[in-house]
């Protein structure tokens, strides 16, 4: 199931910081990872994706790369319990293939705190082994403590 997949690949570390402590312009440490056949097969199984195109062409689902980037970035940070992922946008600049090596860079671009909500926006930029930007993404979370979650 996908929650088992996420836990396994989140690489939980003892020295994590909490997303609720992050402010605008916080930059996550860069994360570097390879798109391996084993990882992609496990991802595809977790989300119910057919891997036929990947087997035939070596192309991988663009969404899988963002999932892997977020898992790698989460190795040093954790969302407060009860947090909700509320939106995401993606822009892919080229097809991605098995064995591409990706470097993910992420930065907090918005933080809206009020009595009722604590919204955090993170912008990702993904680069391949040639330092060509291959994708960018933005994701938003309402942090769990903001609504009593």
pTM beyond cutoff 0.85: no
Per-residue pLDDT of 54-87, as tens digits, reads: 778 888 888 888 888 877 777 777 778 888 889 9
Beta strands in 1-149 (DSSP E): 17-18, 31-34, 59-60, 77-78, 84-92, 96-97, 101-113, 118-127, 133-142
In this structure, are residues 112 and 119 in contact, taking their beta carbons and an 8 Å threshold?
yes
Cβ(3)–Cβ(10) below 8 Å:
no
In SS3 terms, 97-121 reads as ECCCEEEEEEEEEEEEECCCCEEEE
Across 38-42, 51-55, 62-66, 105-109, least confident range = 51-55
- Under a CB-based contact definition with an 8 Å cutoff, are residues 122 and 139 in contact? yes
Does 2 have pLDDT greater than 90? no
Per-residue pLDDT at 145: 67
């Amino acid at each position: 199931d996908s929650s088992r997949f996420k836990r396994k690949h989140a690489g939980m570390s003892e020295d994590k910081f909490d997303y609720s402590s992050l402010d605008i312009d916080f930059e996550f440490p860069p994360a570097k990872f390879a798109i391996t056949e084993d990882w992609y097969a496990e991802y595809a199984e977790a989300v119910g994706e057919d891997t036929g195109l990947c087997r035939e062409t070596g192309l991988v689902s663009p969404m899988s790369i963002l999932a892997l980037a977020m898992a790698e970035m989460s190795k040093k940070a954790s969302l407060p319990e009860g947090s909700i992922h509320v939106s995401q946008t993606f822009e892919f600049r080229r097809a991605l293939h098995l064995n591409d090596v990706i470097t993910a860079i992420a930065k907090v671009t918005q933080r809206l705190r009020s009595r009722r909500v604590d919204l955090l926006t993170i912008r990702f930029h993904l680069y391949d082994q040639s330092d060509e930007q291959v994708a960018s993404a933005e994701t938003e979370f309402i942090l769990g403590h903001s609504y009593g979650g």
